[in-house]
């Protein structure tokens, strides 16, 4: 048995607040101006216990046309609507607009309450009842029961309470296992506790102590305490009105329209892909790039409508569109939204969020429309596969779940299947698992290999292509850490060879062009013949006929392949000379324990010009160590 949230709707002064007070004993008009003017301006909140033991939270919304935006901020997330119509006035303009909003938000369960029946006679009441039923016949509440009630005398209240309880028994369960999402509709401060935010929890579960994010502002916080209908709770599931006391956020830094969410799941965006419906009663076509007021959850954001397959949308028609927001908002796939004209402010349409964080689309593209159709109506596997195919970078399971609206466990299973059949590739970075489209991975792999093939043709002496340059060239969107992980996949396939700073094709530098090969052989022979008294590297290369511009590359190549050893920037020794010297020093030091520069010069039959650099080289190699002006063997 779960609790429910009831919302009121209806024209100004039709008795919504009086009805709530009669049902609950709570006056939802909190503001002085509301009491003075006798109308609701802001959202009001109350609750009542039903005969079954359920508790119903009630959101009382303003009926005046000037405050419809406040009504929209509170009506999202309700389970049951009470459409309140005064018997002495019947259907009025805000009755119609509120009912349009109810339909656009997909609220299907409702009760029509004819109030103020104590103010009319039976004949008039019968006429109004007939008018209301006729008006409702083509709306989402066409089958809703119509009750006659007086908030002043209490007539009809027992029947209304019983009907609410009966309808509550058939309410579908909310998603309590997914990430938490709470659209914030009220913010205030409590002395001694700090900032409190309220709203109807749309999905997931909140616990005392949970870390949460406030989006789109990007603030981080922690839940200090929770209340449901003024009673403390340790956890609250989706479908409840909840007050959340949070830490580390000041009242002035958070407001209505933001959302409290599970960290790391939802991403603020300036673009939202939608299926858009224009109300039949709208007086004019909606033109491409029309400026509108976009209402989602408790947020109102000025936006433009980008029609993707036409230049105008006629009343009663629907199409795919991209909403371009003036500032960042937060949506989830499957969210319902409402749009109102910029000026004058009238509800003109609404629809369903298809992709809460898309890329910017070009219009009149068949592939864009096809992709949106798949994302809206395709199988879960088709949705995940398409989403991976659209993205050039890796995605986590949580990101895929957010954009497809699927459960995280289902996404994990689907991705595992896609990896098994090669449709996707899995990469692991710091204990986090990401997925990448298999075709995107193969395209990237071919791009890397083509780049390397061209590089090795142009620069056969070099070790390899700089890794960071390869990242910026082929996948600039990903982090160096993710890119390094992806390179490791290529290395595991034995497609590339990785060095700390470079990437190369296997054996790419084993065979050189004839001209370069001849130079390498001459340099090698020259240094081998010179023993421990070689000429400068530049002289050796010049005699070998090397291009002066390639001096560094020749020397790097010879050093990499173990042919020669760099002792100083201008002194390179053949590996045989290095080994002969090492053996001579080791033999002497094992017998005499230490050696001076002069003794080394005599031992090696060479000059200080070569002996000192060689001794410093062996110090660097930790073969010897310097103690004063002598060398000793390093203990191993």
Helix axes 608-620, 597-604, angle to 10 degrees: 110
pLDDT attached to residue 43: 60
Helix axes 575-592, 608-620, angle to 10 degrees: 80
3-state SS track over 140-198? CCCCCCEEECCCCCCCCHHHHHHHHHHHHCCCCCCCCCCCCEEECCEEEEECCCEEEEE
Which residues in the chain show pLDDT less than 50? 29-42, 63-67, 71, 74
Ordered by where they begin, the domains of the chain are 4-168 (3.40.50.300), 181-261 (2.40.30.10), 269-368 (2.40.30.10), 378-511 (1.10.10.10), 512-636 (1.10.10.10)
Q: Please state the φ and ψ torsions of residue 611, each to the nearest 5 degrees.
A: -65, -45
pLDDT tens-digit series, residues 319-367 = 999 999 999 999 988 888 999 999 888 889 999 999 998 989 999 999 8
Q: Which residues, including other chains, have CB under 8 Å from residue 305's CB and lie 6 or more apart?
A: 276, 286, 288, 289, 290, 292, 321, 322, 323, 324, 339
Tokens read off for 618: 């062996």
pLDDT attached to residue 34: 34
pLDDT attached to residue 391: 76
pLDDT attached to residue 76: 59
pLDDT attached to residue 39: 34
pLDDT attached to residue 67: 36
Residue 468's CB is within 10 A of a number of other CB atoms, namely 12
| 8 A C-beta contact, residue 461 and residue 557 | yes
Tokens read off for 2: 């779960």
pLDDT attached to residue 102: 84
Kindly compute the dihedral angle of the four CA atoms of residues 469, 475, 476, 482, in this order, to the nearest 10 degrees: -90
pLDDT tens-digit series, residues 232-282 = 999 999 888 888 999 999 999 998 889 999 998 888 999 999 999 999 989
| 8 A C-beta contact, residue 321 and residue 391 | no
Tokens read off for 385: 């596969």
């Amino acid at each position: 048995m779960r609790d429910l949230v009831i919302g009121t709707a209806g024209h100004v002064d039709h008795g919504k607040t009086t009805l709530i007070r009669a049902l609950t004993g709570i006056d939802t008009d909190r503001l002085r101006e509301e009491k003075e003017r006798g109308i609701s301006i802001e959202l009001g909140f109350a609750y009542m216990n039903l005969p079954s033991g359920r508790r119903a939270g009630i959101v009382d919304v303003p009926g005046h046309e000037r405050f419809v935006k406040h009504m929209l901020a509170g009506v999202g997330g309700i389970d049951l609507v009470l459409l309140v119509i005064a018997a002495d006035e019947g259907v009025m303009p805000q009755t119609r607009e509120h009912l349009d909003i109810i339909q656009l938000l997909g609220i299907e369960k409702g009760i029509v309450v004819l109030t103020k029946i104590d103010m009319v006679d039976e004949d008039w009441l019968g006429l109004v009842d007939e008018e209301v039923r006729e008006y409702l016949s083509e709306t989402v509440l066409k089958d809703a029961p119509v009750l006659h009630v007086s908030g002043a005398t209490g007539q009809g209240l027992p029947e209304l309470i019983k009907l609410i309880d009966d309808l509550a028994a058939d309410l579908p369960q909310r998603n309590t296992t997914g990430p938490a999402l709470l659209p914030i509709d009220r913010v205030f401060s409590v002395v001694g506790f700090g900032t409190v935010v309220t709203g109807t929890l749309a999905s997931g579960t909140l616990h005392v102590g949970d870390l949460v994010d406030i989006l789109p502002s990007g603030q981080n916080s922690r839940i200090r305490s929770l209340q449901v209908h003024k009673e403390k709770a340790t956890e609250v599931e989706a479908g409840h009105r909840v007050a959340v006391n949070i830490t580390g956020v000041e009242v002035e830094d958070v407001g209505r329209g933001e959302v409290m969410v599970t960290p790391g799941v939802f991403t603020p965006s300036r673009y939202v892909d939608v299926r858009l419906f224009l109300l039949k009663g709208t007086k004019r076509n909606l033109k491409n790039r029309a400026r509108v007021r976009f209402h989602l959850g408790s947020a109102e954001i000025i936006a433009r409508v980008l029609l993707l397959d036409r230049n105008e949308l006629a009343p009663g028609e629907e199409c795919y569109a991209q909403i371009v927001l003036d500032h960042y908002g937060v949506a989830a796939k499957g969210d319902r939204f409402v749009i109102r004209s910029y000026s004058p402010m009238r509800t003109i349409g609404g629809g369903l969020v298809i992709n809460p964080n898309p890329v910017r689309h070009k219009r009149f593209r068949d592939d864009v429309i096809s992709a949106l159709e798949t994302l809206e109506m395709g199988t879960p596997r088709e949705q995940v596969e398409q989403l991976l195919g659209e993205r050039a970078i890796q995605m986590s399971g949580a990101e895929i779940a957010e954009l497809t609206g699927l459960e995280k466990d289902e996404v994990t299973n689907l991705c595992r299947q896609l990896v098994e059949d090669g449709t996707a590739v899995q990469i692991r970075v710091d204990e986090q698992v990401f997925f990448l489209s298999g075709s995107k991975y193969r395209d990237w792999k071919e791009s890397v290999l083509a780049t390397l093939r061209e590089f090795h043709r142009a620069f056969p002496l070099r070790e390899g292509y700089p890794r960071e340059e390869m990242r910026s060239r082929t996948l600039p969107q990903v982090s160096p850490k993710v890119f390094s992980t992806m390179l490791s996949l290529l290395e595991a396939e034995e497609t590339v060879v990785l060095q700390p700073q470079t990437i190369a094709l296997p054996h790419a530098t084993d065979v050189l062009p004839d001209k370069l090969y001849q130079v390498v052989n001459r340099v090698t022979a020259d240094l081998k013949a010179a023993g421990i008294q070689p000429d400068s590297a530049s002289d050796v290369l010049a005699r070998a006929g090397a291009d002066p511009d390639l001096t560094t590359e020749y020397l790097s190549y010879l050093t990499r392949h173990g042919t020669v050893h760099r002792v100083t920037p201008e002194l390179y020794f053949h590996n045989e000379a290095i080994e002969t010297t090492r053996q001579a020093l080791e033999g002497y030091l094992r017998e005499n324990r230490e050696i001076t520069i002069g003794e080394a010069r005599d031992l090696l039959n060479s000059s200080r010009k070569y002996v000192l650099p060689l001794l410093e080289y062996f110090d660097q190699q930790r073969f010897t160590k310097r103690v004063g002006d002598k060398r000793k063997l390093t203990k191993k």
